[in-house]
Amino acid sequence: MDYGTVIDQDRAFALLDRYVQRGGEWLDTANCYSFWIDEAGVGGASERVIGEWLRSRPGARDAVRIATKVRQNPLVAHRWPESAEGLSRSAIRAGIEASLSRLGVDDVDLLWAHAEDRSVALEETVHAFGELVAEGKARSVGAANHPSWRVERARALAVSADVEPWSAIQLRHSLVQPRPFAPIPEAGHRLLTPDDLDLARDSNLWVWAYTPLLHGGYVREDKPFSEPYDHPGTTRTLAALGAVAAEVQATKNQVVLAWLMAQGISPIVGASRVEYVDEAMDAMALELDASQMERLSSAR
C-alpha cells in the first residue's frame, strides 16, 4: 500500500525481491494507494513502483500474480470522497487502463471492485467487469468491501448475462474483533462477517483478509489497538494467543496468520521490513492443532 510514499522505491524493491525469493506469488495493490499520504493527492504510487520493479527484473511478471483495484481513487487531487471514481462502465475501464499503464503489463490476474457504488446499477458494474475478462485485461474479478447479499446478487446477474462473475471477496478480518456494531476508525473498512464466510464456502469463493495483524498491535506496545477493540473479549483472546504462541514456539503474528490460513482465509500482509516478510512467510509452515484453533476462536 505504501510503496512510493512511506516506503521508497529501493526499500520496496528489497521487500519484493525477498518475497519472491521466499516463494511469494501474489501482489495486492490498488489504483488509489496511497492518495491520503501522497503530496500529489491522488493514488498510483504503489502501482508505479511495482511497475518499475517488474521492468527491472526480467522474468518477474511470470513469477508473480498481480491483483489491483478500481473505485476510490480521487479524480481531483485532494478531493476525496467527493471526487472518488465510481463503478460505472466508463470509470472501470478508465481505471484499469491507467493501472495497466502504471504497472507496465497487458493484464492483471485479479481485478477488485474496491468498494460499493450504489449510484450505479449493479448490472452495469457486473457487465463492465465481465467485459474486461472477455477482453483479456483481467483474468478474474472480485469484490472488496461488499456485503454478501450484493456479491450474491452480482454473481446471479453475471450468470444471467453469461459474463465472468466475482469469484473472490476481500474484507477486514483478524483474530481480535471489535465490539459488535462499534464503528472502526478506518474509513471504508468493512469487517468479514459469518454471512460472508457462509456465502464463500457455499459458492466456493476465495476469501482474502486485509489488516490481519491490526497494524502491529499484537506485538508492538507503540501500536495499540484502537478503542473499539477495548473489551473483555480482547483480553481473553490475547491471553489464549500468548499461550498458543509459546506452545508452538512462534510469534503472535505467526499464530494469527496460521489461524486465518487454517480456515481457508488468505491474509494480506503489508510488510515494511525484510524481516517481517520472513516472519510472515515462515507462518505458512505453522500448523495449529484442533485444540489450539478452538481455544483461539472460543476466547473471542
Within 10 angstroms of residue 104's Cβ, the number of other Cβ atoms is: 15
Q: Where are the domains of the chain?
A: 1-166
Q: Does the structural domain 1-166 have CATH classification 3.20.20.100?
A: yes
What is the residue-level pLDDT of the chain in tens, covering all 300 positions? 999 999 999 999 999 999 999 999 999 999 999 999 999 999 999 999 999 999 999 999 999 999 999 999 999 999 999 999 999 999 999 999 999 999 999 999 999 999 999 999 999 999 999 999 999 999 999 999 999 999 999 999 999 999 999 999 999 999 999 999 999 999 889 999 999 999 999 999 999 999 999 999 999 999 999 999 999 999 999 999 999 999 999 999 999 999 999 999 999 999 999 999 999 999 999 999 999 999 999 998
Closest CA to 99 of 115, 88, 111: 111
Q: Report the predicted TM-score, pTM, of the whole model to 2 decimal places.
A: 0.96
Backbone angles phi, psi at 37, to 5 degrees: -125, 0
Alpha helices in the chain (DSSP H): 9-21, 45-56, 60-63, 89-103, 122-134, 148-161, 194-203, 232-248, 252-262, 274-282, 290-299
The per-residue pLDDT for 187 is 82
d(CA 48, CA 144): 22
Q: Would you state the cell numbers that stand for residue 291, as one nine-digit string? A: 485444540
